[in-house]
């Protein structure tokens, strides 16, 4: 398969393949869009676009080392400004060439070959060639970061000075998508080690960190890389990325013109008149309970499917949408957005709101008196916790909240400290979600739950097409839903509000616009 053909299978939004059937079912809203845009002079009253400086708000402190940072969220604007990626995610969710001018995937989806553009350099003047790219990918693969596992077992070959081949131990239809996000970031091997990796990272991207003007944990300033091969795609001369974790602070900064864009909760969006600000929405994240411990390793009760099913039946989803999201969400009991091939409308009513029915299941499983459960409380991401405590309490589950700083999130959660967590996770393509939350070795299948049947289905999906792919996705959905791996309640609408002179484009399957989509409004 060529790059274009492969993307149509692996990453193309479902509405292009069989989405007419499923799009009619529901258009899911999105979640957590984390972002902010343009110049400190750009409040509601600014008349002309300013391409000198783009000011973005970060909702958490970024990690500058590309091997340890998160793939998505507002922190992605930091790494994507410093590092170029081999490929690029287009607004429709497809993958296209970027630093690699072309790519091809083998028919068995085990080898992805990329050809680099000529003449690219790192900011210190050294060449971006196959040996440097090989070292960069191997570095993130071996670094033990939050997404390193996605490249486990992948061998990187420098075929010649301008050609890279990625060899997967098993079919992997997502490799092009991985090369379009942080896993495909190109870092300068000369700066892998020492303090520079964490404080003064060096890449070949559109911007260069200005260490003198940067205050770690507060403001990150980046200047244009004048030698970047595609600088016309980034209209701003300078970026200023401000850490504003508190939504009230973001709203105030946006309304007073200190920043020109911010993520805003649905309940706050009416503070921004549409004749003075732009509202950009996206639809990708599913929020609910993620039941990681499905074998009862930490909490024995969770090893019984009836208990997990009961935990799905305590949510009055219509009421949650009204009261928790101010009506700005779509109810769902499935962990995939409606445009996704894994989404099956026939399964939406599998777990109705039924407290008495849930109590009956708990009793049948031998837990009529409930059990104890600890969940993390993460500042800024814990608004649903009181509801979780109350509703699980209806069936005897005694929930205790434990404070967890955002800086410890990946270490503690991905390390398996918690059996259950209230969380929002992006749903993208079917292949992405299989790799992200379903596969036994996926990042968010923390306790490695699986079966021989599921393993075989996930493997077959990597190269399946047409009716064969549909049958695979439908069977996976049945298993995951019947075994109650998750207990979702809604897909909220995420709002990015910008001043009138700044715009950004949503990316299908992502809860936020990518940095390259920001531009002065027409």
Tell me what pLDDT residue 443 has.
86
Residue range 222-281, pLDDT digits in tens: 999 999 999 999 999 999 999 999 999 999 999 999 998 888 888 899 999 999 999 988
- Whether the per-residue pLDDT at 460 is higher than 50: the answer is yes
Residue, of 167 and 197, whose pLDDT is higher: 167
Residue range 168-211, pLDDT digits in tens: 999 999 999 999 999 999 999 998 876 677 788 999 999 999 99
The full set of domains in the chain, from first to last, is 287-492 (3.10.105.10)
- Whether the per-residue pLDDT at 3 is higher than 50: the answer is no
Contact (Cβ atoms closer than 8 angstroms) between residue 152 and residue 141: yes
Least-confidence region, from 144-148, 469-473, 508-512: 508-512
381: left (phi over 0), alpha (psi -120 to 50) or beta: alpha
| pLDDT above 90: percentage of residues in the chain | 69
Find the helix or strand (DSSP H, E) in which 385 lies.
helix 385-393
Please, where are the H alpha helices in 171-328?
A: 175-178, 196-199, 247-255, 305-312, 317-324
Q: Which of 399, 423, 397, 395 is nearest to 335 (CA)?
A: 423
Who contacts 206 (Cβ-Cβ below 8 Å, separation ≥6)? 81, 84, 224, 225, 228, 230, 231, 233, 234, 516
DSSP, res 437: I
For 37-57, what is the HEC assignment? CCCCCCCCCCCCCCCCEEEEE
| pLDDT above 70: percentage of residues in the chain | 90
Q: Which of 442, 393, 289, 444 is nearest to 351 (CA)?
A: 289
- Whether the per-residue pLDDT at 21 is higher than 60: the answer is no
Residue range 34-55, pLDDT digits in tens: 333 333 333 444 445 568 999 9
Tell me what pLDDT residue 441 has.
86
The C-alpha atoms of residue 365 and residue 419 are separated, in whole angstroms, by: 18
Tell me what pLDDT residue 49 has.
54
Q: CA angle 275-276-277, nearest 5°?
A: 105
Tell me the two tokens of residue 514: 């990518």
Residue range 237-251, pLDDT digits in tens: 999 999 999 999 999
Residue range 83-110, pLDDT digits in tens: 999 999 999 889 999 999 999 999 999 9
For residue 7, CA distances in Å to 147, 180, 391 come to 21, 12, 42
For residue 204, CA distances in Å to 228, 347, 380 come to 7, 46, 33
The C-alpha atoms of residue 227 and residue 52 are separated, in whole angstroms, by: 18
The C-alpha atoms of residue 183 and residue 176 are separated, in whole angstroms, by: 10
Tell me what pLDDT residue 34 has.
33
- Whether the per-residue pLDDT at 27 is higher than 90: the answer is no
């Amino acid at each position: 398969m060529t790059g274009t053909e492969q993307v149509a299978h692996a990453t193309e939004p479902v509405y292009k393949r069989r989405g007419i059937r499923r799009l009619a079912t529901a258009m899911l809203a999105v979640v957590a869009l984390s972002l902010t845009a343009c110049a400190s002079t750009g409040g509601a009253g600014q008349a002309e676009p300013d391409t000198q400086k783009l000011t973005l708000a970060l909702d958490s402190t970024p990690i500058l080392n590309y091997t340890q940072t998160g793939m998505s969220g507002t922190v992605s604007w930091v790494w994507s400004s410093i590092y170029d990626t081999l490929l690029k995610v287009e607004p429709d969710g497809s993958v296209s060439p970027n630093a690699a001018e072309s790519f091809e995937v083998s028919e068995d989806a085990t080898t992805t070959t990329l050809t680099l553009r000529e003449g690219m350099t790192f900011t210190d003047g050294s060449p971006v060639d196959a040996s440097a790219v090989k070292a960069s990918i191997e570095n993130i693969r071996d670094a033990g970061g939050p997404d390193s596992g996605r490249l486990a077992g992948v061998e990187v070959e420098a075929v010649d000075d301008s050609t890279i081949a990625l060899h997967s131990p098993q079919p992997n239809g997502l490799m092009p998508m991985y090369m379009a996000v942080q896993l495909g970031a190109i870092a300068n091997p000369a700066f892998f080690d020492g303090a520079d990796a964490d404080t003064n990272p060096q890449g070949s991207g559109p911007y260069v960190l200005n260490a003198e003007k940067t205050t770690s944990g507060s403001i990150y300033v980046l200047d244009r890389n004048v030698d970047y091969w595609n600088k016309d795609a980034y209209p701003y001369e300078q970026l200023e990325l401000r850490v504003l974790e508190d939504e009230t602070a973001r709203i105030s900064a946006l309304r007073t013109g200190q920043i020109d864009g911010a993520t805003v909760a649905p309940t706050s969006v009416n503070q921004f008149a549409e004749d003075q600000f732009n509202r950009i929405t996206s639809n990708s994240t599913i929020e609910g309970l993620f039941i990681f411990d499905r074998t009862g390793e930490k909490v024995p009760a969770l090893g019984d499917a009836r208990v997990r099913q009961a935990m799905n039946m305590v949510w009055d989803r219509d009421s949650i949408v009204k009261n928790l999201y101010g009506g700005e969400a779509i109810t769902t009991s499935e962990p995939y957005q409606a445009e996704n091939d894994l989404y099956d409308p026939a399964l939406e009513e599998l777990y109705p709101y039924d407290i008495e029915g849930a109590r009956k299941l708990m009793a049948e499983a031998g837990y009529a008196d409930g059990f104890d459960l600890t969940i993390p409380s993460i500042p800024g991401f814990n608004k649903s916790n009181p509801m979780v405590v109350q509703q699980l309490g209806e069936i005897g589950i005694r929930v205790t909240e434990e404070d967890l700083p955002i800086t410890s999130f990946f270490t503690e959660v991905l390390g398996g400290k918690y059996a259950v967590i209230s969380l929002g996770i992006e749903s993208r393509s079917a292949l992405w979600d299989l790799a992200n939350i379903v596969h036994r070795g996926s990042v968010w299948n923390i306790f490695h739950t699986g079966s021989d049947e599921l393993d075989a289905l996930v493997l077959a999906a990597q190269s399946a097409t047409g009716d064969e792919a549909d049958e695979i996705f439908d069977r996976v959905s049945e298993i995951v839903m019947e075994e109650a791996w998750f207990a979702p309640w809604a897909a909220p609408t995420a709002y990015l509000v910008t001043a009138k002179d700044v715009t950004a484009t949503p990316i299908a399957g992502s809860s936020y616009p990518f940095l390259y989509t920001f531009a002065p409004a027409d």
